[in-house]
Amino acid sequence: MIEIIEHTADIRLRITAATREDLFREALRGTIALLQPQKGEREVQCDVRIEAGDPTVLLVDFLNEALSNAHARREAYDDAAIWSLTDNRVEARLLGTEAIAFGDDVKAVTYHEADIRRDAHGQWYTVLVYDI
Amino acid sequence: MEKRALTKVHDWLWEIPKSYRPDMRVPARVYTDEKMLDSILGDRSLDQLINVATLPGIRGWAIAMPDVHEGYGFPIGGIAAVGSDDGVISPGGIGYDINCGVRLLRSTQTASSLRERLPKLVHSIAREIPSGVGRGGPLRFKKNDLDQILRDGATRAVEIGFGTDEDLDRIESRGAIDGADPKFVSDHARGRGGDQLGTIGSGNHFVEIDRVDRVFDPAFGIEHDQVLILIHTVSRGLGHQVATDFLRVMVGTMQRYGISVPDRELACAPFRSPEGQQYFQAMAAAANFAFANRQIITAGIRRAWKHELGDDLEVIYDVAHNVAKIEKHAVGEVLVHRKGATRAFPGQPVLIPGSMGTASYVLMGQQGSMEQSFGSSCHGAGRVMSRTRARQQVTATELRDRLQKLGIVAEAGSSKGLVEEAPEAYKDVDAVVDVVDRAGLAKKVARLVPIGVIKG
């Protein structure tokens, strides 16, 4: 689930999911949706492998990698096949379609306020602040 | 934060003492009047400023300008000077928009002489200057050619035909920051933004045709009713990626240097460390890309101007408001981080873009800035309303009507982009500029009002 929370200059999302893998996939969808891609027909994929010091940094770095690739390759990812996910490493294939254009810009996913937690119902969640 | 935590130093300056939080290394200061202070206290700007006051090697004060607003890590409108030998460099203290800055051009036209031809002129400029999200330009550079732009900035742009040597004399650092090294600009950064030279981008970036509405102090050859052109843009996707790349590096290496920060977006490394130096060299390269970008955009505007009016345009000045530079101040040699703050050395033009439909300012840096703010001033009006709320409160049709009634011709790539930058989304730029003028940081030279706007 993706909720938008008010922020004066930028965009803040709260992402919630049943598993940590789903949290990564949902956050990916939320991030790319902010770009408002105009999608083409051609299907695309992009393999990524990220290592980081902790799970939260791993998520932010994963999303920034996806964002960089989306901009550079003009691709809109709406899902990921996550092959391996530990506290410090993620290997995944980003899946989507070519992007003919983007309607909005996202400069980066920031580390500010990002903190992966589990709530009392076992749901995984984090807030993400984007520089737009 | 509660207002009672601040002490009034004088009518335009408030201070949060070092004793406010045990990890502060210096006090935090905000230049504002009391009315704007109440608004500033409405978000977390000052909590973020206090976090900045904890950075290793910080000198004097962590400083906020009156246009300060909440960011992530550093507040937007913040200044931090750290010792060049014992301090840290923080990519968050510059931001993702490396060398976001403003260039001002002078025409020989007056607003009254231009009125009839304005719509065609605006359209002609919009055709010359690509704008919009991720939009690339017509220029394609091979790796070695891009490296020369990254190393030499606007100087290289002039060498390959975009402008003259006289232009370079009127750009901060002559359009090239020393120490830039293209080898630290990643392939990701080149892939993301290498084709964006000569483009404005989106968001609050624009080209504006302005009329001089009021002259406070005759300087820089600016006269009442004269037409000036303001360019506000940045290093585009290339700079965004340089910041992302090095924040990631610094988040991963801070612990090795025994540094902890209250917010990961303040991630940093000792300036003299390999990581610190590599970031500085990459940031300088991205800053040079932005100087070259504004130089190439200037050439496009000149082409349109020449075509429509048969006239040329002269550069008045070009200055960054998101950058880190090594400077000498009373406390010694420091690395000054300016994130949404403009260098304001005595006698230097200080360019303050406002929002559409309000005003922009030309100021002149004063000696007071050297004594109080590490040679810095404000950078704009400062947002007070989220983009989401702006879209809810303003419609594109209503805004276009309003701009038309004000005599402003606007060409925007998207209606959404237009309403997000509506005047009510920003602070009162007149009040912001009053504070820096009265505090002695930069004095008012001229107030400009838009007559033509081109944005993504």
Q: What angle do CA A105, B352, B336 make, to 5 degrees?
A: 80
CB contact under 8 A, A71 and B202: no
For B45, the closest chain A residue by CA position comes to A8
Query: In angstroms, what separates the C-alpha of A48 from chain B's closest C-alpha?
Result: 13
8-state DSSP, B426: B
pLDDT tens, position by position, B394-420: 888 888 888 888 888 888 877 777 788
**Using a CB-CB distance cutoff of 8 angstroms, which residues of chain B are in contact with residue A9?**
69-71, 76, 383, 386
- Whether residue B351 has pLDDT greater than 70: yes
Question: What CATH code would you report for B98-319+345-368+377-455?
Answer: 3.90.1860.10
| Residue of A72, A105, A131 lying closest to B72 (CB–CB) | A131
ipTM of the complex: 0.94
Q: What DSSP string describes B55-109?
A: STTB-S-EEEEEEEEEEESEEEEEEEEEETTT-EE-GGGT-SSTT-EEEEEEEEE
CB contact under 8 A, B265 and A105: no
- The amino acid present at B376, given as its one-letter code, is S
Tell me the average pLDDT across A6-29.
90
pLDDT tens, position by position, A47-96: 999 999 999 999 999 999 999 999 999 999 999 999 999 999 999 999 99
Give the pair of three-digit tokens for residue A62. Answer: 């994963």
| Residue of B191, B237, B386 lying closest to A6 (CB–CB) | B386
Q: What domains appear along chain A, each with residue ranges and CATH number?
A: 2-131 (3.55.10.10)
Which pLDDT band holds residue B15 (cuts at 50, 70, 90)?
very high
Query: How much is the pLDDT for B27?
Result: 98
Interacting residues of B205 by C-beta distance below 8 A, sequence separation 6+? B100, B131, B232, B233, B234, B455, B456
* Domain locations along chain B: 98-319+345-368+377-455
Contacts by B180-184, CB closer than 8 A, 24 or more apart: B180/B150, B180/B151, B180/B153, B180/B281, B180/B284, B180/B285, B180/B287, B180/B288, B181/B151, B181/B278, B181/B281, B181/B282, B181/B284, B181/B285, B182/B146, B182/B147, B182/B150, B182/B151, B182/B285, B184/B278, B184/B279, B184/B281, B184/B282, B184/B285
Q: Cα–Cα distances in Å, from B48 out to A127, B51, B329?
A: 18, 5, 24
Interacting residues of A14 by C-beta distance below 8 A, sequence separation 6+? A2, A3, A5, A125, A126, A127, A128
pLDDT tens, position by position, B102-134: 999 999 999 999 989 999 999 999 999 887 766
Place of tokens 């991963």: B252
Find the range with the poorest average confidence among A6-10, A44-48, B61-65, B322-326: A6-10
Q: What angle do CA B261, B371, B8 make, to 5 degrees?
A: 70
